[in-house]
């Protein structure tokens, strides 16, 4: 059986792309650029650390200071630096969702980063997975961080991301009696200024996700 891998970011951007854009996304999956450098690595790492430390903003402030004194040697590095500073400043204003502020959680590792949905292997790779005890029961949640000034997610995109985080964790942890809470599974979008959870995901989101997956498989098979 053929594999149909795609990252969650590319999946939720897929229906907004032109036909040529969709084919380029599939082509990138078939021949990935192994030397591609990800954008905003420092800012994403500092946001992640802040969440791991239950909202402590010191890693974020330290990241801003580091970026302020950094000397870019290319236009790409200058853009990365400028947008990363803005992202960290925006995160300071956003803060953590109340549900995380109200529980004592800790970071845990995730062994699998891929969710198979409707035959498509979605690389979800949440940046943070946390566990907590609520009412004596072990519960788990996760966060996917999105930093893109030019392409922030809309509500539907964020909801799909949050839902895939929830399903990925449910597949890994529910068999051992751990409860995966949809209200603890988030898409944290810095430039959209929103933190959307998987709670109350309705059938329209699932139908949209299945529709996208069917189109992805069709383009894979045509490539």
pLDDT at 31: 83
Residue 131, domain extent? 5-36+98-222
Burial of 31 by CB count in 10 Å (0-12 exposed, 13-18 middle, 19+ buried)?
exposed
Does the residue 53 lie in any domain?
Answer: no
Does the residue 78 lie in any domain?
Answer: no
Confidence of residue 12 (pLDDT cuts 50, 70, 90): very high
Mean pLDDT estimate for the chain? 94
| CA 146/CA 90 separation, integer angstroms | 13
Q: Is the pLDDT of residue 147 over 70?
A: yes
Does the residue 88 lie in any domain?
Answer: no
Mean pLDDT lowest among 96-105, 149-158, 165-174, 192-201:
96-105
Q: How many domains does the chain have?
A: 1
Its pTM stands at 0.94
Does the residue 126 lie in any domain?
Answer: yes
| CA 60/CA 89 separation, integer angstroms | 8
pLDDT at 100: 92
Does the residue 196 lie in any domain?
Answer: yes
């Amino acid at each position: 059986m053929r594999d149909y891998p795609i990252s969650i970011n590319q999946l939720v951007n897929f229906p907004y792309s032109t036909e040529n854009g969709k084919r380029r996304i599939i082509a990138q999956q078939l021949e990935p650029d192994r030397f591609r450098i990800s954008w905003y690595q420092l800012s994403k790492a500092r946001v992640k650390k802040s969440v791991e430390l239950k909202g402590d903003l010191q890693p974020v402030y330290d990241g801003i200071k580091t970026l302020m004194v950094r000397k870019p040697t290319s236009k790409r590095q200058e853009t990365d630096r400028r947008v990363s500073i803005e992202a960290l400043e925006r995160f300071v204003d956003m803060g953590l969702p109340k549900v995380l502020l109200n529980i004592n959680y800790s970071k845990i590792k995730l062994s699998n980063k891929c969710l198979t949905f409707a035959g498509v292997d979605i690389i979800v790779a949440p940046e943070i997975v946390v566990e907590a005890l609520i009412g004596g029961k072990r519960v788990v949640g996760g966060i996917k961080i999105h930093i893109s000034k030019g392409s922030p997610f809309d509500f539907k995109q964020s909801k799909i991301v949050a839902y895939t985080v929830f399903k990925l964790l449910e597949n890994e942890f529910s068999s051992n009696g751990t409860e995966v809470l949809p209200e603890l599974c988030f898409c944290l979008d810095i430039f959209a200024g929103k933190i959307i959870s998987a709670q109350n995901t309705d059938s329209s989101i699932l139908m949209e996700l299945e529709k996208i997956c069917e189109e992805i498989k069709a383009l894979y098979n045509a490539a």
